[in-house]
Amino acid sequence: MTDIFDAIQKSAIRIKDAIDVKDIGYSQQENSSGETQLQLDIKCDMIIEEEFSSVASIHTIASEEKEKEMLMNKDGKYFIAYDPLDGSSLVDVNLSVGSIFGIYENAFGAKNMVASCYVVFGPRVEMVFAHNKAKLHLLQGENWEFTKEIRLNEKGKLNAPGGTQQNWEPYHKEMVDSFFAEGYRLRYSGGMVPDLHQILLKGGGLFSYPGTSDKPEGKLRKLFEVFPFAFIFKTAGGGAIDGQNDLMTIDYAHIHDTSPCFFGSKYEIARVKEVYASNK
Ligand code: AFP
């Protein structure tokens, strides 16, 4: 898997350069979620596709920016689903964004995930790669330096509640409020990568993106966003559920499927499970 890791590291350096260039116009195309694609999304997608095209162990790729999956090498064994630039609408307000990668063996699907990775482009560029452990790396010039292993505490202090509040279920709102009443602080930028990165590095908390009255299946995509972060949180000693079920046990039907999702340390995830079980 080292060749995949290297290709992601190379892509990240090129994506950082692409973000730095003042080129954030819209293209004429829409992605499969019906969003008008930014030129930058397309550029980042191309960079990753190019870097992956020279890795023989990759069988198929699926990108959040592409309608369909794409065969790379029929003899490869890895299937990689990636979101080239998650939160790209935040670039023009100069907030942090990220790339997310789910690495699956033999086929896509949570049960086949063997590793996952994200890169956060903020004041610094950092990468978290989870395989047996979740490891943080920092970009220094053109070199990546291992910083530390990430481990979550049993309980955190941050609360990152996603989705339109107007469309939350009343019991979801009550649960979010109950964390604030317990002293949790609000941390939500609208970029999944920096929001989850903050929770991972500050020791814990809760990120939620529930099913809502307008989006019962949530907004975040299973293969590109939900499964990769579920894998990282579980590897770091936390939890990841859809309200009831462990996210790493749920199926997908289409590559662009979404799911409600909750990521956090053990304490917060246990509370979510309890609240959602009693409101089934
Ligand atoms: P964009 O890629 O369209 O900016 O969306 C970002 C994102 O998918 C994810 O990074 C955020 O956690 C989530 O959307 C924020 O959505 P809300 O604005 O509905 O909270």
Q: How many domains does the chain have?
A: 2
Residue at which a domain ends, from 149, 173, 205: 149
Same structural domain, 127 and 167 = no
Q: Are 86 and 193 in contact (CB under 8 A)?
A: yes
End position of a domain, from candidates 149, 176, 192: 149
Same-domain pairing of 200 and 111: no
Mean pLDDT of 241-256: 97
Q: Are residues 24 and 107 in the same domain?
A: yes
Q: What is the arithmetic mean of pLDDT over 77-84?
A: 98
Which amino acids bring their CB within 6 angstroms of ligand 1?
Answer: 35, 86-89, 162-163, 190-192, 219-220
pLDDT at 89: 87
Residue 151's contacts (CB-CB under 8 Å, 6 or more residues apart) are 134, 236, 237
Q: Are residues 23 and 143 in the same domain?
A: yes
**Å from CA of 112 to ligand 1 middle:** 26
Task: Give per-residue pLDDT as tens, 174-193.
Answer: 999 999 999 999 999 999 99
Task: Based on the fold, state whether residues 47 and 173 are members of the same structural domain.
Answer: no
> Are 81 and 16 members of one domain?
yes
- Give the pLDDT confidence score for residue 32 in this predicted structure: 64
Residues of the chain with pLDDT > 70, as a percent, come to 95
- Give the domain range for residue 52: 2-149
Whether 81 and 193 map to the same domain: the answer is no
190 and 230 assigned to the same domain: yes
Among residues 96, 118, 149, which one ends one of the domains?
149
Q: Phi and psi of 6, rounded to 5°? A: -60, -45
Give the pLDDT of residue 178: 98
Indicate the pLDDT class of residue 21, thresholds 50, 70 and 90. Answer: confident
What's the whole-number average pLDDT of the chain?
95
Test site for ligand 1: of 92, 220, 221, most ligand atoms within 8 A of the Cβ = 220
Same domain assignment for residues 110 and 128: yes
CATH number of the domain residue 218 falls in: 3.40.190.80
Distance 191 CA to ligand 1 centre (A): 6
Report DSSP letters for 118-169, one per residue.
EEEESSSEEEEEESSSEEEEEEETTEEEEEEE----SS-SEEEE-S-GGGS-
Q: Which atom of ligand 1 is nearest to the CA of 90?
A: 4
Average pLDDT over residues 239-254: 97
83-115 pLDDT tens trace: 999 998 899 899 999 999 999 999 999 999 999
Residue 68 pLDDT more than 80?
Answer: yes
The per-residue pLDDT for 125 is 98
CATH of the domain at 65: 3.30.540.10
Nearest-CA residue for atom 16 of ligand 1: 190
β-pairing, 58-63 with 26-30?
unpaired
Cβ neighbors of 140 (< 8 A, separation 6 or more) are none
Token pair 């649960």: residue = 175
